[in-house]
Structure 1
Amino acid sequence: MGTLTKAQYRMRKLNLVSMIPPLVAVGALLVAIDAKTWWQAVVLGIGVVAAIVATERWTAGHLFRVAWPCLIVTAAVWILGALTFDGHTSFYGITIVGPLIIPKLPRRRGAAALVLIAFVAAVGALKLLVSPGNLPATLIQYLVIPTAATVVATGLMIPGQRFYDLVEELDQSREREAELAVIRERMRFASDLHDIQGHTLHVVKLKIALAEKLLHSDLDRVAEELGELHALVGDTIKQTKELAYAQRRLNLSAELENAKNLFEAASIRVRVDREAEVDAQAGELLGQVLRETTTNILRHAQAKQVRITLSASGITIVNDGVADAPLPELSGLATLRQRLADSGGELTVEQKDRRFVTAAAFPRNREAGKDDR
């Protein structure tokens, strides 16, 4: 077993404090009451020590390292005490160790419980044959009380172990949730970094191709394109730093203007219909959708026309130039779909009639707009 978690450590500490002192106190008291000679005290004391060792290892989750030796020792103490020197409390150790072991068994717990109870009762019954005098007292001290104590202890430990298992499962569930949160954050960071760097690299490629075309015909335009490239790279460096320090915020208006300029630079006719404004949180997500869609159009489509419509409920981007083929897998949009869903929105993509439609919407914003009207 590995290092204990914080919850397991707290549970172990609680168990040690709540169980070990009473076990020691009761065990010492029983030895003092029952032992008539020093060697009887040693025998009974060994049973108490075995019970304490088993309990301490149980709280640490290492019970099976000592389980069987402790069980054998306490069983021997019960046999020796009951049959040789009238040690009617010598069952104490086995009623501690046995019920600790049984709930930890992988299977046949019921059968093991019956065997334990039968063993304790059998030793008590054997005492009746060895010492037939004063039958009622012997019956109570060696058969009824030990057997009842074993039944009660075993019956309490089985549901108690289930409780500890639930606590451990809950702790493991919390650990898994924390790990998933870290993974989701890493995926979010990677997706944002992909948005920034991927978008920039495609724009750089586009502008360099344009500059190469104009190199021998319009040097002023080439200089303008190179200046824009310089500014774009500087802005990308700034956005990357903001992302690293969790300060990055997309501006939807800036993204709309940027998308328009990029499409025009690629000789794609673009129309922007801005019917309404959206709130800042929704605007940031819509800006991410617009940026990712712009990159996809420049990469995957032979578009001649693009129409961007911004409404109170969301944004819709429609482009032509789509081949008659199955809907491509767009991993960036798949990631954004989950982000919108987490914020109460929805992202849909549709391909028909050689057109590709990307729509991101927040239904609650749509309903609010209807109520205002």
Structure 2
Amino acid sequence: MTARSLRITEATQGRLRRLNLLTTMPPLVIGAVVVVVVDTRTWWHAVVLTPAVGAALLTYERWTADDLARVVLPCVIVAGAVWPPGALLIGAPNAYWGICTVGSFALTRPHRHRGLAAAGLFGFVAAVGAARLLIDQDDVRRTLVSYVIVPTAVTVLVTVLTLLGERFYDIVRELDHSRKREAELAVTRERFRFASDLHDIQGHTLHVVKLKLALARRLVRSDAARADEELREIHDLVSDTITQTKELAYAQRRLNLSAELENARNLFEAAGIRVRITRRAEIDSGFSELLGLVLRETTTNILRHAQATQVRITLSAAGIAIVNDGAPGDTRPELGGLSALRQRVTEGGGELTAERRAGEFRTAATFARSGTAATAEEEEAR
């Protein structure tokens, strides 16, 4: 996997984690306030309970930022140190909330002894709660439920849910990797198609040229007229091959706009990108070939350079517009391979543009002929 793909994957995970922070942090803060208020009967109770709450919120915030390693150990120590005095001195059955939260996030870090660590966490919560039975023996059943069963069960449940949430991010990472591999494979297939076409053009020609040159060498002294004819055929054959190679280089050879649309759809879908093709009018056959060139090059650019999740292709009587939502917001739009086509589009009476707007990247080739005033941009805006 390339470094760029890895950065894209990390950015995707970062957005998901930040969304999780925005949606989940308010309920956590409310829960933390409730824990402190319910169990606090004097000012020093709040002093004892608050550090565990702070450690839990800090741990969650750092987890959403994918920066848990720096704070997890001190937060585990702080939260773990609050549960014993909270249960034994204050009589606060909810004081386990801090170590429950911090411990569950600590277990998301890859570790070969994760099972032992989980058992240690559950055992610690249960053991401290059970120690309360040595102090409060008036109602053993209530004490057992409030300090042992409920804290341990909630800690187990929160840990399981947290690990499942972490597994969700792992799946997102794997899916993103797969999508990038599909995009890279699609580009590779496109290159292979080009190489195959180039081989078809030049391989046969060079083989024929080699045979005709050998024949001309044998005839140059015995039959000069025949040798001259062979050399003329070689010249014509090479000229024709040069023409075909230029056409291939500009993606003209056997180009068909409808076929390019279908090819673009297949490539995008193979890369996990949603694509929508809208035909608002029939394309003028006079410049449909140029539009096919623009579509092919834009498709390759999106697969290689963008981070798109969806693409919209709009055809109108005036041209074509291709819009994708994967352009990085901190870079200027570059035409790349399309720059080679800009002059040809201009010479054909059109205009090739590439721009970023409203969080999307748009490439458009527009023509104005026979009084056609609408452009692909206006069609796309509607």
Q: TM-score, normalised by structure 1?
A: 0.58
Relative to structure 1, is the Cα distance of residues 22 and 194 closer, same or farther in structure 2, using a 3 angstrom cutoff? same
What per-residue deviation string (whole Å, max 9, x for no partner) do you get for residues 239-295 of structure 1?
A: 223323333239xxxxxxxxxxxxxxxxxxxxxxxxxxxxxxxxxxxxxxxxxxxxx
Quick one: which amino acid aligns to residue 28 of structure 2? L
Q: Distance in 2 between matches of 1:61 and 1:194?
A: 49
The 5 A counterparts of 1:263-282 are none
Matched residues, number: 250
What per-residue deviation string (whole Å, max 9, x for no partner) do you get for residues 43-73 of structure 1?
A: 4332222222222333344433432222222
Q: Distance in 2 between matches of 1:101 and 1:79?
A: 19
Match for residue 26 of structure 2?
Answer: 21
Relative to structure 1, is the Cα distance of residues 36 and 234 closer, same or farther in structure 2, using a 3 angstrom cutoff? farther
Match for residue 208 of structure 2?
Answer: 203
Quick one: which amino acid aligns to residue 76 of structure 1? A
Instruction: Indicate which of 80, 105, 127 corresponds to 1:75.
Output: 80
Match for residue 97 of structure 1?
Answer: 102
Q: Distance in 2 between matches of 1:86 and 1:146?
A: 14
Q: Distance in 1 between matches of 2:153 and 2:43?
A: 29
Match for residue 55 of structure 2?
Answer: 50
Instruction: Indicate which of 166, 175, 187 corresponds to 1:170.
Output: 175
Q: Distance in 2 between matches of 1:193 and 1:39?
A: 81
Instruction: Indicate which of 7, 17, 33 corresponds to 1:3.
Output: 7
Whether the aligned pair in 1 keeps the contact of 2:14 and 2:66 (CA below 8 Å) is: no
Give the secondary structure class of the aligned counterpart of 1:216: helix
What per-residue deviation string (whole Å, max 9, x for no partner) do you get for residues 88-125 of structure 1?
A: 32211211122223344444444332221110011111
Give the secondary structure class of the aligned counterpart of 2:91: coil
What per-residue deviation string (whole Å, max 9, x for no partner) do you get for residues 277-333 of structure 1?
A: xxxxxxxxxxxxxxxxxxxxxxxxxxxxxxxxxxxxxxxxxxxxxxxxxxxxxxxxx
The 5 A counterparts of 1:316-327 are none
User: Is residue 236 of structure 2 the alignment partner of residue 234 of structure 1?
Assistant: no
Quick one: which amino acid aligns to residue 19 of structure 1? T
The 5 A counterparts of 1:279-294 are none
Give the secondary structure class of the aligned counterpart of 2:7: coil
Relative to structure 1, is the Cα distance of residues 188 and 157 closer, same or farther in structure 2, using a 3 angstrom cutoff? same
The 5 A counterparts of 1:252-267 are none
Relative to structure 1, is the Cα distance of residues 161 and 9 closer, same or farther in structure 2, using a 3 angstrom cutoff? closer
Relative to structure 1, is the Cα distance of residues 8 and 214 closer, same or farther in structure 2, using a 3 angstrom cutoff? same
Quick one: which amino acid aligns to residue 32 of structure 1? V
Relative to structure 1, is the Cα distance of residues 95 and 194 closer, same or farther in structure 2, using a 3 angstrom cutoff? same
Rg bigger for which structure? 1
Give the secondary structure class of the aligned counterpart of 2:83: helix
Quick one: which amino acid aligns to residue 30 of structure 1? V
Give the secondary structure class of the aligned counterpart of 2:46: helix
Quick one: which amino acid aligns to residue 51 of structure 1? A
Instruction: Indicate which of 185, 189, 197 corresponds to 2:190.
Output: 185
Q: Distance in 1 between matches of 2:68 and 2:159?
A: 16
Quick one: which amino acid aligns to residue 209 of structure 1? A
Q: State the structure with bigger RCO (CA 8 A, min sep 6), 1 or 2.
A: 2
Quick one: which amino acid aligns to residue 95 of structure 2? S
Quick one: which amino acid aligns to residue 48 of structure 1? V
Q: Distance in 2 between matches of 1:204 and 1:50?
A: 79
Q: Distance in 2 between matches of 1:129 and 1:212?
A: 110
Relative to structure 1, is the Cα distance of residues 196 and 105 closer, same or farther in structure 2, using a 3 angstrom cutoff? same
Match for residue 249 of structure 2?
Answer: 244
Q: Distance in 1 between matches of 2:80 and 2:116?
A: 18
- Identical counterparts, % of pairs: 56
Give the secondary structure class of the aligned counterpart of 1:3: helix
Q: Distance in 1 between matches of 2:87 and 2:250?
A: 73
Match for residue 154 of structure 1?
Answer: 159
User: Is residue 111 of structure 2 the alignment partner of residue 111 of structure 1?
Assistant: no
What per-residue deviation string (whole Å, max 9, x for no partner) do you get for residues 142-195 of structure 1?
A: 223212211221233344443433332222222222222223333333333233
Match for residue 320 of structure 1?
Answer: none
Whether the aligned pair in 1 keeps the contact of 2:13 and 2:169 (CA below 8 Å) is: no
What per-residue deviation string (whole Å, max 9, x for no partner) do you get for residues 191-228 of structure 1?
A: 33233333332222222222222223433333333333
- RMSD, matched Cα: 2.9
* 1:77 Cα offset (Å): 1.9
Whether the aligned pair in 1 keeps the contact of 2:14 and 2:64 (CA below 8 Å) is: no
Q: Which runs of 5+ in 1 are unaligned?
A: 251-373
Relative to structure 1, is the Cα distance of residues 18 and 206 closer, same or farther in structure 2, using a 3 angstrom cutoff? same
Relative to structure 1, is the Cα distance of residues 62 and 180 closer, same or farther in structure 2, using a 3 angstrom cutoff? farther
Relative to structure 1, is the Cα distance of residues 182 and 80 closer, same or farther in structure 2, using a 3 angstrom cutoff? farther
Q: Which runs of 5+ in 2 are unaligned?
A: 256-382
Relative to structure 1, is the Cα distance of residues 60 and 248 closer, same or farther in structure 2, using a 3 angstrom cutoff? farther
